[in-house]
């Protein structure tokens, strides 16, 4: 049999937390990895409030020492006003004290993860976009990029809401919620009421999330039930602050891929499953799926596990927590007694 030329064992599409975690997990198990990221990170990337559960995962990825350099603020809980008076909900505590969440600048955070990947020998190509999968007879052979082909044994799709591989392979990702379009923006100035902890506040027509990102920078996200928020909408508490850029929109309809893995490919992070930001766990799930996929890919490529079983187990693992999360989120929305989740 003729050995085919390989550029890498694994090619990862996307340099967000999911793709980077997958690349780091694969490289730290001795695999050769190429990672493609199409964008030079903009200073404002949403997803800055990290759940405390992300910290042990980041330590596992070798980032505990450098993590403090990208943390702009910490908080031990969240203010929630959701069908009842405003209450402070702490994350929890253990023998070492209260757990705390982190506010990070995502551009810095994502760059830190990519730097760690490079340190482990990952060939990080940025900016470089994946343009099409290289289709073999029964499996993928890699990825075509705007800079030529990358031939690899496994493709990891960490392209986020773009769902690049799912769209290219025709893997459906059906909606599991009403259409949920959020609008979000960034403000500069001071807002002492928001410095200690983020807030999630529901009203008659939707909900608003407000958080401090770092010194003098704040972020908000707004969802209107059954409608798209106006482009010039601003949260009351931030009206005296200066907008840092135009507001942007994002489709956060809950979705999960019909298959999150297959012969020679894995989807990680938002590319596999999306929930809206009230779950506050998108980055945590991105890191978890990246780490898990890396573990399974190494097992398969090192001959310790059959590929089809690994793909099935991975899909079942994601489907299990996704179903639990949508059950919890549906119950959470129903507390508001509006028609959206009736
Ligand atoms: C308004 C808003 C607020 C949010 N708030 C929070 C929050 O507070 N906390 C939280 O945990 N989560 C939050 N989230 C969710 C969080 O941002 C995502 O869950 C998380 O970023 C998913 O990580 P990822 O790596 O899967 O995808 P992403 O972070 O989206 O990264 C995907 C990467 O793939 C790249 N890419 C796409 N296509 C290609 C291609 N063809 N070739 C090469 N590269 C490609 C993109 O450029 C991008 O860098 C929020 C989301 C939004 C929209």
Model confidence over 269-289: pLDDT tens digits?
999 999 999 977 999 999 999
Q: What tokens were used for 108? A: 């810095």
pTM for this entry: 0.97
pLDDT at 46: 92
- Asked whether residue 186 carries a pLDDT value surpassing 80, the answer given is yes
- Closest Cα to atom 33 of ligand 1: 14
Q: What tokens were used for 134? A: 């290289």
| Ligand 1 pocket, mutate which of 47, 271, 274 (most atoms under 8 A from CB) | 47
Would you say residue 207 lies in a domain? Answer: no
Would you say residue 232 lies in a domain? Answer: no
* % of residues, the chain, pLDDT over 70: 99
Say if CB 317 and CB 292 are below 8 A apart.
yes
CA of 270 to the centre of ligand 1 (A): 7
Q: What tokens were used for 254? A: 């809950």
CA 18 to CA 160: how far, in whole Å?
Answer: 8
DSSP string, 261-287: EETTEEE-GGGTEE--GGG--HHHHHH
Say if CB 124 and CB 131 are below 8 A apart.
no
Would you say residue 147 lies in a domain? Answer: yes
| Ligand 1 pocket, mutate which of 54, 75, 282, 321 (most atoms under 8 A from CB) | 282
- Closest Cα to atom 50 of ligand 1: 47
Would you say residue 276 lies in a domain? Answer: yes
β-bridge mates for residue 48, sequence order: none
Q: Which of 17, 19, 23 is nearest to 45 (CA)?
A: 17
Say if CB 110 and CB 48 are below 8 A apart.
no
Would you say residue 118 lies in a domain? Answer: yes
Q: CATH number, domain at 310?
A: 3.50.50.60
Pocket of ligand 1 (CB under 6 A): 13-19, 36-39, 46-49, 129-130, 158-162, 164, 182, 184, 221, 250, 252, 269-271, 277, 280-284, 286
Say if CB 270 and CB 286 are below 8 A apart.
yes
Would you say residue 226 lies in a domain? Answer: no
User: How many distinct structural domains can be found in the chain?
Assistant: 1
Would you say residue 35 lies in a domain? Answer: yes
Residue 50: give the domain boundaries.
8-72+106-176+254-334
DSSP string, 109-174: HHHHHHHHHHHTT-EEESS--EEEEEE-SSSEEEEEEBTEEEEEEEEEE--GGG-HHHHHHT----
Render pLDDT for 35-71 as a digit per residue (tens, 0 to 9): 999 999 987 889 999 999 999 999 999 999 999 999 9
Give the model's confidence band at 138: pLDDT under 50 very low, under 70 low, under 90 confident, else very high.
confident
Ligand 1: atom nearest CA of 45 is 17
Render pLDDT for 154-183 as a digit per residue (tens, 0 to 9): 999 999 999 999 999 999 999 999 999 999
Would you say residue 131 lies in a domain? Answer: yes
């Amino acid at each position: 049999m003729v050995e085919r030329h390989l550029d890498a064992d694994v090619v990862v599409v996307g340099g967000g937390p999911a793709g980077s975690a997958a690349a780091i997990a694969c490289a730290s198990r001795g695999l050769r990895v190429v990672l493609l990221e199409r964008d030079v990170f903009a200073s404002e990337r949403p997803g800055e409030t990290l759940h405390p559960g992300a910290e042990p995962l980041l330590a596992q990825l070798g980032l505990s020492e450098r993590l403090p350099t990208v943390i702009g603020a910490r908080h031990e809980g969240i203010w929630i006003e959701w069908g009842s008076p405003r209450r402070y909900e702490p994350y929890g505590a253990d023998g070492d004290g209260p757990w705390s969440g982190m506010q990070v600048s995502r551009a810095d955070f994502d760059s830190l993860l990519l730097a760690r990947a490079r340190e482990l020998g990952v060939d990080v190509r940025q900016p470089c976009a994946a343009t099409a999968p290289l289709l073999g007879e029964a499996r993928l052979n890699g990825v075509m990029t705007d800079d030529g082909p990358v031939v690899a044994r496994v493709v990891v799709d960490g392209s986020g809401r773009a769902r690049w591989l799912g769209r290219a392979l025709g893997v459906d990702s059906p909606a599991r919620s009403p259409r949920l379009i959020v609008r979000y923006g960034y403000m500069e100035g001071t807002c002492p009421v928001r410095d200690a902890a983020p807030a999630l506040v529901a009203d008659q027509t939707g909900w608003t999330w407000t958080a401090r990102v770092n010194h003098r920078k704040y972020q908000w996200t707004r969802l209107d039930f059954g409608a798209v928020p106006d482009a010039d909408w601003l949260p009351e508490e931030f009206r005296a602050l200066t907008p840092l850029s135009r507001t942007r929109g994002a489709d956060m309809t809950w979705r999960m891929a019909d298959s999150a893995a297959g012969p020679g490919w894995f989807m990680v992070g938002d590319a596999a499953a999306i929930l809206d930001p009230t779950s506050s766990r998108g980055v945590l799930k991105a890191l978890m799926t990246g780490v898990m996929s890396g573990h399974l890919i190494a097992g398969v490529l090192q001959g310790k596990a059959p590929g089809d079983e690994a793909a099935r187990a991975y899909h079942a693992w994601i489907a299990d927590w996704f179903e639990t999360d949508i059950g919890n989120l549906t119950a959470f929305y129903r507390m508001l007694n509006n028609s959206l989740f009736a």
